[in-house]
Structure 1
Amino acid sequence: MLNLQALETFVTNAPQGVNETSIPNVQVFWSHKAMPRHLQAYLFGLVFILQGYKIGYLGARRFQYGAGQYLAVGFPMHFECETHLQNHTPLLGIFIQLEVSELSRLAAQMMSCKALSTGIVERSGVEPLSISAPIYEVLGRMLNVINQPKQGAVLGELYVRELCYHVLQEDNSAVLLSHLNRSTPQNRVAQTLEYMEQNLYRNPPVDELAQYAHMSIASFNRHFKQITGRSVVQYIKTMRLMRARHMLAVEGQSVKQVAELLGYGSAAQLSRDFKAYFGLPPKWAGQV
């Protein structure tokens, strides 16, 4: 069992959501509310749920991650998830954002020492994985310095590297390693996700995205669905509607303005798509 006392200060003094810690690239997140299925952005990294649990959805795939598991996110992406509380305690977890350059150096060093896993299997862009005893030990040390500015700044980075070492030793490390090799189909598809988000306003066609990834349309479609759990068309449609909801609820823009900015044919078309996806018309965007 991990000692969570070091994280109590975040629940007591920090706003719910994501908060920075004394360890670079390590964040604590917490929530006192359960949340129904919603779309959430995940960066390249590792997610540890220490209290409560989440259920993720990648297309038809459903997976749970909580105590005893961590989530490896091989590419920056969006997918739907639910947040669940247990025993009337808040959801509490740690997110470790990984840096490609640092992980690449570690993997190269491990490969030269023959310490890198050889049981690589093909995986999707997101995987819930079991926490091994060595990973638990490192997490414990990280919690001890997570609120100590000097120790966290110096020792924390070493602990993150040690944690990654244990992760890469396991056969399931493919979900992270695939991000390091830019020539793999999975990585080339993943690179289009950022391009896609930058061009949501014009709804980029599949053939353009496939060309950007230097792949045939058939190959691009196949690998895209393997990584995201959705077809290209479904993913873009969801992202545009989520962007529309943010613009309506947070930025306060009108339905007409949002429709124009996101390249919808009309405000009526945006309203129809919005209601079909969220179950409510755009005027209720803040409640979705």
Structure 2
Amino acid sequence: MDLVSERIYKQQDELAKLIDRYSVRDGVHATAIPSLFFMRHSNVTEPSYGVYKPSLCIVVQGAKEVWLAQERFKYSPADYLVASVDLPVIAQVTEASSDVPYMGFKLEFTPGQILEVLSDSEIRVEPKENAKRAMFVSRMESSLLDAVLRLVRLLENPKDIPVLAPLFMKEILYRVLQGQHGVTLAQIAIEGSSAYRIRDVIEYIMNNYDKSFRIEELAEIANMSVSSLHRHFKEVTAMSPIQFQKQLRLQEARRLLLSESTDAADVAFRVGYESPSQFSREYSRMFGYSPKKDIKRLRAQYDHRNRVRGGG
């Protein structure tokens, strides 16, 4: 093991111990630092569906896969993953055990924080450069782990968080912007860039996923032609605007069915479908089961996990 690899190994070992201290049980754990979350899983998980906000994700132990449309992003302690805009994804922990649980770190950020780092640094991005995929995996670097550790250590001294956390977050984003795919992250904050304009369209769809829209409306928001919008949107998100909207609708429908005692037809209308039969077909295509079977299956799994935790 060379000196750099040895240093990274020691940093990850310290990070794993800190995450272990603040996430005793399996699941996602918010921390005293706003926008910082820890994840812990003692078993390989089923695929989970959700929206990744702009965030830096690090695997400290184990391994994970994230699917964006048909693209698979695999990462482990040797890498880190970044989502630069809101993206509907499927995620799965692929390596975990009770002896060596999966441990993850997620730090959410905003385009404004990216712009602040760009303004204070000599990193330059060409606004006219073509938009790039808004998710990437890069090799882990010791300088990035250094900044991450400084941020996480603040949990030991909560009084320092208000002053120091913003500084360490800024350093973390600076390290990512300096990395192999830094330009992809920078683009979302550069006014006038294709990625910036697609971000506006994504925000509109996120806020209006249950409403129908014409593609011309989205092109107007982006100040692009319809063909340019399609091309750039697919480049950024790996899907068309309609596919993006469909994923949001179906994810929200599943959440509603799980959290409320309501029928599939009612939920179909609430998330924007005009035809319950079309909703049922698309739900089955995405999740592999009809709405009724899927929810019954998920509730049974949830009850089983609770019995195991409770020792029942």
- Asked if residue 96 in structure 1 is aligned to residue 107 in structure 2, the reply is yes
Taking a change above 3 Å as real, the CA distance of residues 200 and 164 of structure 1, as seen in their structure-2 partners, is closer
Gaps of 5+ in 2: 1-8, 299-312
- The residue type equivalent to 2:203 in the other structure is E
| Higher RCO (C-alpha 8 Å, min separation 6) | 1
Give 1:175's aligned residue.
Answer: 184
SS of the equivalent of 1:253 reads coil
Cα deviation code 1:53-106 (max 9, x no counterpart): 211222332221121211121112212222223354222111112233333222
- The residue type equivalent to 2:161 in the other structure is G
- The residue type equivalent to 2:20 in the other structure is E
Q: Indicate conservation of the 8 Å contact 1:248/1:255, yes or no.
A: yes
How far off is 1:177 after superposition? 0.5
- Asked if residue 23 in structure 1 is aligned to residue 40 in structure 2, the reply is no
Which of residues 262, 266, 269 is equivalent to 2:271? 262
2 CA distance for matches of 1:152 and 1:232?
Answer: 39
Percent identity, aligned pairs only, is 24
2 CA distance for matches of 1:244 and 1:118?
Answer: 39
Give 1:49's aligned residue.
Answer: 59
Taking a change above 3 Å as real, the CA distance of residues 24 and 237 of structure 1, as seen in their structure-2 partners, is closer
How far off is 1:180 after superposition? 0.7
Matched length: 282
How far off is 1:262 after superposition? 2.5
Over aligned residue pairs, what C-alpha RMSD do you find? 2.3
- Provide the TM-score with structure 1 as the length reference: 0.88
1 CA distance for matches of 2:162 and 2:183?
Answer: 29
Which of residues 204, 208, 219 is equivalent to 2:217? 208
Give 2:120's aligned residue.
Answer: 109
Q: Indicate conservation of the 8 Å contact 1:73/1:126, yes or no.
A: yes
Give 2:77's aligned residue.
Answer: 67
Taking a change above 3 Å as real, the CA distance of residues 156 and 263 of structure 1, as seen in their structure-2 partners, is closer
Q: Indicate conservation of the 8 Å contact 1:17/1:30, yes or no.
A: yes
- The residue type equivalent to 1:9 in the other structure is R
Taking a change above 3 Å as real, the CA distance of residues 220 and 173 of structure 1, as seen in their structure-2 partners, is same
How far off is 1:171 after superposition? 4.1
- Asked if residue 5 in structure 1 is aligned to residue 14 in structure 2, the reply is no
Q: Indicate conservation of the 8 Å contact 1:24/1:156, yes or no.
A: no
Q: Indicate conservation of the 8 Å contact 1:167/1:173, yes or no.
A: yes
Taking a change above 3 Å as real, the CA distance of residues 147 and 175 of structure 1, as seen in their structure-2 partners, is farther
Give 1:237's aligned residue.
Answer: 246
Taking a change above 3 Å as real, the CA distance of residues 160 and 122 of structure 1, as seen in their structure-2 partners, is same
2 CA distance for matches of 1:135 and 1:82?
Answer: 24
Q: Indicate conservation of the 8 Å contact 1:274/1:282, yes or no.
A: yes
Gaps of 5+ in 1: none
2 CA distance for matches of 1:46 and 1:83?
Answer: 16
- The residue type equivalent to 1:29 in the other structure is M
- Asked if residue 252 in structure 1 is aligned to residue 261 in structure 2, the reply is yes
Q: Indicate conservation of the 8 Å contact 2:131/2:235, yes or no.
A: no
- The residue type equivalent to 1:82 in the other structure is Q
Taking a change above 3 Å as real, the CA distance of residues 196 and 121 of structure 1, as seen in their structure-2 partners, is closer
1 CA distance for matches of 2:59 and 2:211?
Answer: 37
Q: Indicate conservation of the 8 Å contact 2:118/2:124, yes or no.
A: no
